[in-house]
Structure 1
Amino acid sequence: MTTTRFAPSPTGYIHVGNLRTALMNYLIARKAGGTFILRIDDTDPERSKEEYVDAIKQDLEWLGLQWDRVERQSDRLDRYAEAADKLREMGRFYEAFETPTELDLKRKKQLNMGKPPVYDRAALNLSEAEKEALRAERGNGVWRFKLDHERIEWNDGILGDISIDASSVSDPVLIRGDGQVLYTIASVVDDTEMGVTEVVRGSDHVTNTATQIQIIEALGGACPRFAHHSLLTGPQGEALSKRLGTLALRDLREQGVQPMALLSLMARLGSSDPVELRSDMAELIDGFDIGRFGAAPTKFDVQDLFPLTAKHLQSLPLADVADAVTDAGVPADMAEPFWAMARENITTLADLQGWWELCRDGAEPLIDEDDRDFITEAVALLPEGPFDGETWGVWTKAVKETTGRKGKGLFMPLRKALTGMERGPEMAALLPLLQVIRARG
């Protein structure tokens, strides 16, 4: 069975970069009728916060990305300890004691000599007595996995055939000196024991994948199929990482972005398929193909979400937005015609407030000096109420016959006088909703 996972760290809010990973894994699982696991990567007790665990779940639920089960790495520390013991017994795990300063000096020396800046495995030459002395002086060391210096190869679902020389990579630290288990080994143990078959993540993890493949093999596990999606940039190709704090999903939600607009964009961004607004999750699932995505950095512009949001809102019946219409202050008996009028003229639901204020309170008339007599004459011809969808046509016909005006010279001054704007909804739909004019009629 196809099994995928999304493994966020609860150290902050989910942003668009995280969503890309979550959505791809979700769509793969659902298209195959498989399992989607939400795995909370909370092995760092200092930075992990329960409020972020709750926020992650809330954001995924808002988007409709429902997981099949939740796992927490903090509940599985004994499994990681067992794996570490197994690697020690195999001679693939060793303790190292260099300080960050010492490691930095080693890297600089290697670079000056034209060599790759990889860990030199000096710790393998330490005697037991030397290790004891270093523990007494510095505390416990870090634990590194000893890579086999051979080529690590796999067929990536997006990048194609990958081959990495393990000798060009430092032996990865899997456990810190303070005992904290790091992502690299925790992820391997989880993926293996949870039967994860597909792993989609960012291209910045390619080197991690290479080392994890060797760890999986050392522990006797089966390697999942890996795919590494491109990283997002800003609209001008600038690094997006510095702006991700302002692109949290809850910030986009606050700005009025609709879930289906966000999902439709992220399900196609960076692929060879055009971005198309989808009406529901089933359409997204059916149209998703990980093989259609490319390796080049992918430009993301938050402004692209708003036309999609507007288009999505235009397709919705009143029942889907009834709460927002009520919150804007629209009376129940006017909700249906109000939504029919407003939905073609909003970008987000927050815009409903402004349209209702126009209907309720009217607007400051916008009247050109040359049109003042015309407007006075036109208002005198306004039919008796109540107004309906035919009133605008009846009124403008009478004004045309009386004044001789037609086309833009007829309609534009009337629109500006009634709404204070040069463009907006169909006046036939808006006129019956204008409370001030209704009262006059």
Structure 2
Amino acid sequence: MTTTRFAPSPTGHIHVGNLRTALMNYLIARKAGGTFILRLDDTDRERSKQEYADGIQRDLEWLGLTWDRIERQSDRLDRYGEMAQELRASGRLYEVFETPTELDLKRKKQLNMGRPPVYDRAGLKLSAEDKDRLRAEGRAGYWRFLLDQERIEWTDGILGGISIDAASVSDPVLIRADGQVLYTFASSVDDADMGVTHIVRGADHVTNTATQIQIIRALGSEPPAFAHHSLLTGAQGEELSKRLGTLSIKDLRENGVAPEALLSLMARLGSSQPVELKTSLDELAEGFELSQFGASPTKFDAEDLWPLTREANQALPFDRVRARIDALGVPADLAERFWRVASQNITRLDDLAGWWDIFSQGAEPQIDPEDADFIAQAMTLLPPPPYSDATWGEFTNAVKQATGRKGKGLFMPLRKALTGQAHGPDMSDVMPLLQVVRARG
């Protein structure tokens, strides 16, 4: 069975880059009728917060990316300890003691000699007496995985054939001196134990993938199929990573972006398929193919979300917005008409409040100086509310007869006087909703 996972660290709010990863893994599982796991990679005890774990789940639920099961790495520490002991016993995990300063000096020396800055495996040469002496000096040991120095190869679902020489990569640190299990190891154990079959993540993880393939095999399992999507840039190709904090799913939701808009954009961004609004995840899954995504950096412009949001919101059925309209105080007998009239003139659902303010409290009239006398005369011909579907036609005919105006010179000044807007819904539909006309003075 196809099994995928989304494995965020609960150290902050998830952003559009994280969403791209989550959505791709979700759609692979959805399309295959498989399992989608939400795994909270929370081994960093200092930075992981429950409020962020809750926020991640809230964001995914808002988008409809429901998981089949949830796992927490903090619940699996004993399992990591068990597997670490197996790797020690097999000689694949070895203890080292270099300080960051010492490692930095080694790297600089290697670079000056024209060599790649790869860890020299000095820890393998330490005797038990050497280790005791270092501990007596106050040093704490940490643990590296011994890579087989051979080429690590796989067929990437997006990038194609990948081949990395393990001799060009430092043996990764898997366990810190304070005992914290690092991502590279915990993730490998989890993916093996949980039967993960497919992993999609950012192209910045390619080297991690190479080492994790060896770790998973050392644990006695076969690695999953990997794919690495391109990284996002800004609209002008600028680095996006520094702005991701302002592009959190939480902020986009609070700013009124429609979930369907966000999903539709992120599911096709960087692929050969056009971005089109899809109103269900089943629709997105049906057309989703990893092979249609490219390796080049992908431009993301948050402004592209607004036309899709407008389209998504304008297509919503009344039942989906009834509670929101009731909360505005729209009378029950006008609620459905209000939605029909206002919906085609909004981008965000929050924009509905402005239209109800216009209808219920009256708009601040917009009257050009040259139209002031015309509007004053016209308003004497408008009876007080309530109005009907026929009111606009009867009113404008009366004004036309009295003033001789016609066409745009008739209709536009009246619209601006009654709604304060140069554009908007058909005035025949607007009039029955008007509760107050401030242009009457």
How much does 1:64 deviate? 0.7
How much does 1:380 deviate? 2.9
How much does 1:267 deviate? 0.6
Question: What amino acid is aligned across from residue 44 of structure 2 in structure 1?
Answer: D
**2:261 corresponds to which residue?**
261
Q: How does 1:34-113 map to 2 (within 5 A)?
A: 34-113=34-113
Is residue 293 of structure 1 aligned with residue 264 of structure 2?
Answer: no
The alignment partner of 1:124 has SS state of helix
Shifted more, 162-171 versus 281-290: the winner is: 281-290
Tell whether the 8 Å contact from 2:3 to 2:197 is kept in structure 1 after alignment: yes
Tell whether the 8 Å contact from 2:362 to 2:438 is kept in structure 1 after alignment: no
The alignment partner of 1:435 has SS state of coil
Shifted more, 390-399 versus 287-296: the winner is: 390-399
Shifted more, 125-134 versus 147-156: the winner is: 125-134
> How many Å separate the matches in 1 of 2:374 and 2:7?
67
Q: How does 1:226-241 map to 2 (within 5 A)?
A: 226-241=226-241
How much does 1:384 deviate? 7.1
How much does 1:438 deviate? 10
Number of paired residues? 440
Q: How does 1:155-174 map to 2 (within 5 A)?
A: 155-174=155-174
The alignment partner of 2:43 has SS state of coil
**1:213 corresponds to which residue?**
213
Summarize deviations over 1:122-173 as a string: whole Å, max 9, x none: 1111121111111222333110011111111000001000011111111000
Tell whether the 8 Å contact from 1:432 to 1:438 is kept in structure 2 after alignment: no
**2:410 corresponds to which residue?**
410
How much does 1:308 deviate? 1.1
> How many Å separate the matches in 1 of 2:305 and 2:375?
40
**1:121 corresponds to which residue?**
121
> How many Å separate the matches in 1 of 2:119 and 2:328?
62
**1:189 corresponds to which residue?**
189
How much does 1:297 deviate? 1.0
Summarize deviations over 1:41-82 as a string: whole Å, max 9, x none: 111111111222111111111111110011111111122122
> How many Å separate the matches in 1 of 2:187 and 2:120?
25
Tell whether the 8 Å contact from 1:309 to 1:348 is kept in structure 2 after alignment: yes
How much does 1:242 deviate? 1.1
> How many Å separate the matches in 1 of 2:369 and 2:42?
68
Tell whether the 8 Å contact from 1:363 to 1:419 is kept in structure 2 after alignment: yes
> How many Å separate the matches in 1 of 2:121 and 2:385?
89
The alignment partner of 1:381 has SS state of coil
The alignment partner of 2:25 has SS state of helix
> How many Å separate the matches in 2 of 1:112 and 1:407?
81
The alignment partner of 2:12 has SS state of coil
The alignment partner of 2:200 has SS state of strand
> How many Å separate the matches in 1 of 2:338 and 2:146?
68
Question: What amino acid is aligned across from residue 127 of structure 1 in structure 2?
Answer: S
**1:281 corresponds to which residue?**
281
Shifted more, 68-77 versus 206-215: the winner is: 68-77
Dislocated runs of 4+, deviation >3 Å: 383-386, 437-440
How much does 1:340 deviate? 1.0
The alignment partner of 1:316 has SS state of coil
Tell me the TM-score normalized by structure 2. Answer: 0.96
The alignment partner of 1:37 has SS state of strand
Tell whether the 8 Å contact from 2:364 to 2:439 is kept in structure 1 after alignment: no
Shifted more, 409-418 versus 387-396: the winner is: 387-396
Tell whether the 8 Å contact from 1:386 to 1:438 is kept in structure 2 after alignment: no
> How many Å separate the matches in 2 of 1:327 and 1:290?
43
Question: What amino acid is aligned across from residue 59 of structure 1 in structure 2?
Answer: D
Summarize deviations over 1:156-209 as a string: whole Å, max 9, x none: 001000011111111000000111111111111111111100000111100000
Question: What amino acid is aligned across from residue 394 of structure 2 in structure 1?
Answer: V
The alignment partner of 2:109 has SS state of helix
> How many Å separate the matches in 2 of 1:84 and 1:396?
83
> How many Å separate the matches in 2 of 1:82 and 1:391?
80
> How many Å separate the matches in 2 of 1:164 and 1:423?
60
Tell whether the 8 Å contact from 2:264 to 2:284 is kept in structure 1 after alignment: yes
Is residue 222 of structure 1 aligned with residue 235 of structure 2?
Answer: no
Tell whether the 8 Å contact from 1:107 to 1:117 is kept in structure 2 after alignment: yes
The alignment partner of 1:115 has SS state of coil
Summarize deviations over 1:320-371 as a string: whole Å, max 9, x none: 0112212223222221111111111111111111111111121222222222
The alignment partner of 2:237 has SS state of coil
Question: What amino acid is aligned across from residue 143 of structure 2 in structure 1?
Answer: W
> How many Å separate the matches in 2 of 1:193 and 1:385?
70
> How many Å separate the matches in 1 of 2:301 and 2:186?
34
Q: Structure 2: 5+ residue runs without aligned partners?
A: none
How much does 1:439 deviate? 12
> How many Å separate the matches in 2 of 1:59 and 1:238?
26
